Amino acid sequence: MTDRLIIFDTTLRDGEQSPGASMTKEEKLRIARQLEKLRVDVIEAGFAASSNGDFEAVKAIADTIKDSTVCSLSRANDRDISRAAEALANAKSSRIHTFIATSVLHMEKKLRMSPEEVYDQARLSVRFARQFTDNVEFSPEDGSRSDPDFLCRVIEAVIDEGATTINIADTVGYGIPELYGKLIRDLRERIPNSDKAVWSVHCHNDLGMAVANSLAGVMNGARQVECTINGLGERAGNTSLEEIVMAVKTRRDYFGLEVGVDTTQIVPTSRLVAGITGFVVQPNKAVVGANAFAHASGIHQDGVLKQRDTYEIMRAEDVGWAANKIVLGKLSGRTAFKQRLQELGIELESETEVNAAFQRFKDLADRKADIFDEDIHALVSEQVTGQRSEERIGLVAMSQSSAIGEQPKAQVILTIDGKEMSAESTGNGPVDATLRAIESLAGSGADMTLYSVNAISGGTEAQGEVTVRLQKSGRVVNGVGADPDIVVASAKAYVNAINRLQSPVERLNPQITTP
């Protein structure tokens, strides 16, 4: 009989800890619905005790999602656990995930607790959580750097108290596949009641081995993998959901495991998460990158044309890439547009949003002959990011000029709180001049920590997608803009970021250290 691997998605919790990736309740709910369509087993919706905003987001997701288990993280204390239980009260299926650090370094320097105090806290927290649900997960934070003897003692105790999932966290990405896999095997062999719980892995990508470590854990008995869409997460990110799922499915001969994920929803989910968070997927990213199924070598192209599996171990259609790239043009109507949204797995909340997206599509079609699937994803993502904050500032018009031997100049017209204003500036290039002109009017005073350009499709008329990250007073936000004119896309992204920075609905990026 084939075993089943549980896919635990923590994009909305651990993924949100990426600088600038914090989301509003509405954005989290939108992603949660897509994760449900993707058919992940568990959605870690957030950290209910971390803020009122996160509590409301977890509650909204728990109230809405029916086909996946909804989970909330909590530290190993009664307040956090009670808050998680309150947020999850209406969930059809819920889980409380509690954690405490177990490495000597974390216990001494961060918690300032003795091993005995940590042992008692872990045991009592699981006992308390069991009052609210029979689905309790326990994580020893920094487990991969913890003393194995102490880990055995703590884990045996929490299983005795009713923990049903044990998650060994490689919190800082320290693990090496052979050693991490051996740790999972040794713990399962040494702990007398290890068969009473599902074993889980949660790996960070600091050394680029998160997926490899997770799969090593799976080969040594773990039956749950904690992962995120696009590998999103703090520092170098987390285990990538799409890579885990497709590795297990593609190499079923080796792993012998089943997963319940609808793989055709992987690319639409990846696009949605990238659009909402502003974290663009690198072109050579496995499975979901724009080049994942591209073949430049003549030998490769010839082989693929003759027999597809000579150079492709997965089919692009199986993960949600469209076989027919050119889909619509300027003469396409609203019905065809709505149909294509449905085929791409894009769900908009209301007819008003559909109408707004269709108008953006028509505007783009007037400027660009062929509209690709990537263009549709981009215009919808830009619409979503534009709606996530109160737009105090709007881009009305802009122009710029540059020539060899002359300093580039730009002029912009903005609306600020309903009042139209204009400014001119010079810069090192047309983008720099334009953003300086915008800043002279907006006066955000923020530092730009990231400027990234990504071509949405091929060819010189392709849309450019720009991500701008701004930081001010500990707050980090991402802004996204797309347009065939890269300078316009840059201006849109910068205005979007400033609006997010000034919006009261945006919350501070989570700073609580977690597994």
Highest-pLDDT range among 121-125, 322-326, 357-361: 121-125
Average pLDDT, the chain: 88
User: pLDDT at position 324, please?
Assistant: 45
Rounded Cα gap, residues 25 and 46, in angstroms: 10
Tens of pLDDT along 482-504?
A: 888 999 999 999 998 999 888 76
User: pLDDT at position 66, please?
Assistant: 97
CA angle 81, 83, 89 (to 5 degrees): 100
Between 78-87 and 115-129, two packed helices, what is the crossing angle to 10 degrees?
30
Residue in the block written with tokens 């300027």: 330
User: pLDDT at position 506, please?
Assistant: 45
Lowest mean pLDDT among 116-130, 239-253, 350-364: 350-364
Consecutive H or E run containing 49: none
In sequence order, what are the residues at sequence separation of 6 or more whose Cβ sits closer than 8 angstroms to the Cβ of residue 72? 44, 45, 46, 47, 48, 58, 84, 87, 88, 94, 95, 96, 97
In sequence order, what are the residues at sequence separation of 6 or more whose Cβ sits closer than 8 angstroms to the Cβ of residue 387? none
Lowest mean pLDDT among 39-43, 48-52, 508-512: 508-512
User: pLDDT at position 341, please?
Assistant: 81
Average pLDDT over residues 450-458: 79
Tens of pLDDT along 223-254?
A: 999 999 999 999 999 999 999 999 999 999 99
| The pLDDT of residue 511 is above 70 | no
User: pLDDT at position 299, please?
Assistant: 45
3-state SS, residue 422: strand
* 8-state DSSP, 134: S
- Name which of 105, 115, 110, 172 is nearest 144 in CA terms: 172
Lowest mean pLDDT among 35-39, 63-67, 183-187, 390-394: 390-394
User: pLDDT at position 308, please?
Assistant: 58
- Cα separations in angstroms, 283 against 223, 235, 293, 294: 31, 20, 10, 10
Expressed in angstroms, the distance from the first to the final Cα of the chain is 32
User: pLDDT at position 421, please?
Assistant: 95
**Tokens for 289?**
């990158």
User: pLDDT at position 171, please?
Assistant: 96
Average pLDDT over residues 94-99: 98
| The pLDDT of residue 480 is above 80 | yes
Are 494 and 479 a contacting pair, CB within 8 Å?
Answer: yes
Are 80 and 49 a contacting pair, CB within 8 Å?
Answer: yes
- Name which of 255, 210, 261 is nearest 234 in CA terms: 210
Tens of pLDDT along 430-448?
A: 999 999 999 999 999 999 9
